[in-house]
Amino acid sequence: MTVMQSNPIYHLGFGVLTGLCLSCSGVKPTNAAERITLTYGSLNRSIPVASLETFAETGEAPADLETYLDYLNETQRQQLRQLLQQRIDESPAVVSRFTYSGMGEAFLQRIGQGIQTDSSLNGFHALRSAMILAASEPNGLTFLGILRQFPTPALKIDARVVLQLAEELVRLSVEREAAISILALATQQEAKNDDTDFSQLPDLQKRGNQSVEFRELEIFVNAPRATPWGVVESYHLPVDVYLPDDGRAAPLILLTHGMGSTRRQLAYLAEHLASYGFAVAVPEHFGSSSDYLAAFLRGELRDLILPEEYASRVRDIQATLDELERLTATEDGWLDRIDVENTGVMGYSFGGTTALSVAGAPLNETQLNRDCVEQPQPTFNFSVLLQCRASSIAPANFRDSRIRAVFSVYPSTSTIFGRESLAEIDVPTFIVSGSHDTLVPAVAEQIQPFEALTTPHRYLAVMVPGTHFSTEIGDLSRLPTFLVGRTRPDPEIGRGYLNALSVAFFQRHLAQNTDYDVYLNAAYAEFISQEPLNFYLKSIDDRIDLWYTQQIGSHLLSRSLIEFYKRPHKDLTHP
């Protein structure tokens, strides 16, 4: 029995992909395809557009379409129809800017392998024009609108690509559930052996005892950089600094924000860490900030992200370190306030990837060439598109020897680093993952890569069912539900987890305070975990449960995991 025949997730995935590629509705333009041709190697089958329209409008599938939809039960058919009519409220101008950007073109080139023109050419150009035109329709940009505006007389769907994507959708879901189950089992077993009464210990989720002084710096950097105003030959880098007011040289933590964010969005974390005795510096990454994104959406910039941003972000961090090193050595008011040689780095999303770079993971030229140049594949892992922007820059190792520990939240790693580069990190490393993150999938980008780490002190924390936005405050209503999550737990819960574990990690591995070892384990994570956002922590101190590593870390076991976890289990035990 194959996975496709037995797994309901696969049924839905196949239906979603089939519907995405095949469905049309409404009044067709004169040059719209009258028939859709499914190809599978030398086999092909045509379906009248009228049959697709009937299903889209009424939910009834004519006989010539039923073959493709009989994988779905009634509930799944309704879900498919809702997905096909899901509206994205963006103007034609914004859609045009994205599809003409480097990342947008890469996305369409990959999808165009499966959605082809009547001449069996990559559907890249046709898809781009269809998306722009569909965005101008009264109903906005929908899957149905895209297919209605597809500009060639016929539309060909390579079923092999559709099935490949459907299988990836299944694998992402099944491996996620497998990883969560295994992690939960491993941490529950570990927590049982710890009898610490955490209620008698300080609550690291609460602010520390030290008062915090806030300062602003503007650092001149004599190097080219992308900014919201275009590429400049030099720039002034704004940096927020938070200093604990205890008169001692404090270990330094650099915070690096995510794409489309700002340094001020990390203020809550900076103030929290500073209240526990750390100096915290937060630079603004101009080429991937919210101002940069806004300028791109206004049409003032051509590209959503330049490849050079990877190197520029590292330069921002190094410039910040260099300036703080100068200030603490020569300037009154800064003398003996910061221990720059004892620095940690903490990053969120794109910043998490940046943090791993300066901690010692070099760009992996071989992996980037394979995934981005030689064998680019259609994928639901959207973070690969961002990682592939680094494929056009010179291979580099951005390690800074002043970095002594790294805390990385939702990083992208699989293509830009791969296992080989992550293995080169030799400082204590903490990785945080959101189990249901659809932008940066947890298993592919954090859980499996975690197993590649070789540094003696490494930690993996997973929020369940965390997404990429589990710690984001503010209105996320414009984002699709599949990104934010159908039910969004209070982001203060996720922030509390980050507050507590970042303090414990940096106290232990920057301040060298062994009293905080008690917090860096599964028992403490279980103690602070609360519904509806559960929290698991696996700590590794040079030795690890081999079974756990193999189950979580190996792609070779993904097929057996699919077979194992598609069956119901009341309990999990070591096989």
Residue 195 placed within a domain: no
CA 132/CA 213 separation, integer angstroms? 49
> Is the same domain home to 76 and 129?
yes
Residue 69 placed within a domain: yes
Q: At what angle do helices 102-111 and 92-99 cross, to 10 degrees?
A: 80
Residue 572 placed within a domain: no
- Domain boundaries, position 144: 3-165
> Is the same domain home to 133 and 265?
no
Residue 134 placed within a domain: yes
> Is the same domain home to 153 and 275?
no
| pLDDT score recorded for residue 80 | 67
> Is the same domain home to 224 and 94?
no
Does 17 score more than 70 pLDDT?
Answer: no
Does 278 score more than 50 pLDDT?
Answer: yes
CA 238/CA 220 separation, integer angstroms? 9
Burial of 417 (0-12, 13-18, 19+ CB in 10 A): buried
Average pLDDT rounded to a whole number, residues 165-191: 86
Does 547 score more than 50 pLDDT?
Answer: no
> Is the same domain home to 145 and 255?
no
The least confident of 3-12, 298-307, 323-332, 519-528 is 3-12
Average pLDDT rounded to a whole number, residues 261-276: 97
Please report which confidence band the pLDDT of residue 3 belongs to, taking 50, 70 and 90 as the band edges. Answer: very low
Residue 212 placed within a domain: yes
> Is the same domain home to 82 and 224?
no
Please report which confidence band the pLDDT of residue 168 belongs to, taking 50, 70 and 90 as the band edges. Answer: confident
Task: Name the domain boundary from 165, 182, 217.
Answer: 165
pLDDT: which is higher, 556 or 138: 138
> Is the same domain home to 318 and 446?
yes
| pLDDT score recorded for residue 161 | 85
Residue 280 tokens read as 């915290």
Q: Which residues of 360-390 are buried (b: 16+ CB within 10 A; e: fewer)?
A: bbbbbbebbeebbeeebebbbbebbbbbbbb
Average pLDDT rounded to a whole number, residues 207-234: 97
Please report which confidence band the pLDDT of residue 482 belongs to, taking 50, 70 and 90 as the band edges. Answer: low
Task: Name the domain boundary from 110, 141, 165.
Answer: 165
Instruction: Look up residue 456 and give its DSSP letter.
Output: S
Please report which confidence band the pLDDT of residue 275 belongs to, taking 50, 70 and 90 as the band edges. Answer: very high
> Is the same domain home to 272 and 414?
yes
User: For residue range 314-373, what is the model confidence (pLDDT) as tens digits?
Assistant: 999 999 999 999 999 999 999 989 999 999 999 999 999 999 999 999 999 999 999 999
Among 462, 431, 262, 466, residue whose Cα is nearest residue 356:
431
> Is the same domain home to 394 and 513?
yes
User: For residue range 67-105, what is the model confidence (pLDDT) as tens digits?
Assistant: 777 766 777 777 666 666 677 778 899 889 989 998 889
| Residues composing the chain | 575
| pLDDT score recorded for residue 549 | 47
| pLDDT score recorded for residue 391 | 95
Residue 191 placed within a domain: no
CA 417/CA 395 separation, integer angstroms? 11
The least confident of 174-183, 209-218, 234-243, 526-535 is 174-183
Residue 187 placed within a domain: no
Does 560 score more than 50 pLDDT?
Answer: no
Name the amino acid, one letter, at 59.
Answer: G
pLDDT: which is higher, 27 or 422: 422
Instruction: Look up residue 557 and give its DSSP letter.
Output: G
CATH code: domain of residue 255 = 3.40.50.1820
- Helix, strand or coil, per DSSP, at residue 507: helix
Residue 121 tokens read as 């050419």
Residue 185 placed within a domain: no
| pLDDT score recorded for residue 566 | 41
Please report which confidence band the pLDDT of residue 114 belongs to, taking 50, 70 and 90 as the band edges. Answer: confident
User: For residue range 368-420, what is the model confidence (pLDDT) as tens digits?
Assistant: 999 999 989 998 899 999 999 999 998 889 999 999 999 999 999 999 999 99
Please report which confidence band the pLDDT of residue 20 belongs to, taking 50, 70 and 90 as the band edges. Answer: very low
CA distances 28 to 25, 81, 136, 142, 214, Å, are: 8, 19, 15, 15, 60
Percent of the chain whose predicted confidence (pLDDT) is above 90: 56
> Is the same domain home to 458 and 380?
yes
> Is the same domain home to 333 and 271?
yes
State pTM to two decimals. 0.85
Number of structural domains the chain divides into: 2
> Is the same domain home to 406 and 504?
yes
Does 4 score more than 50 pLDDT?
Answer: no
Please report which confidence band the pLDDT of residue 480 belongs to, taking 50, 70 and 90 as the band edges. Answer: low
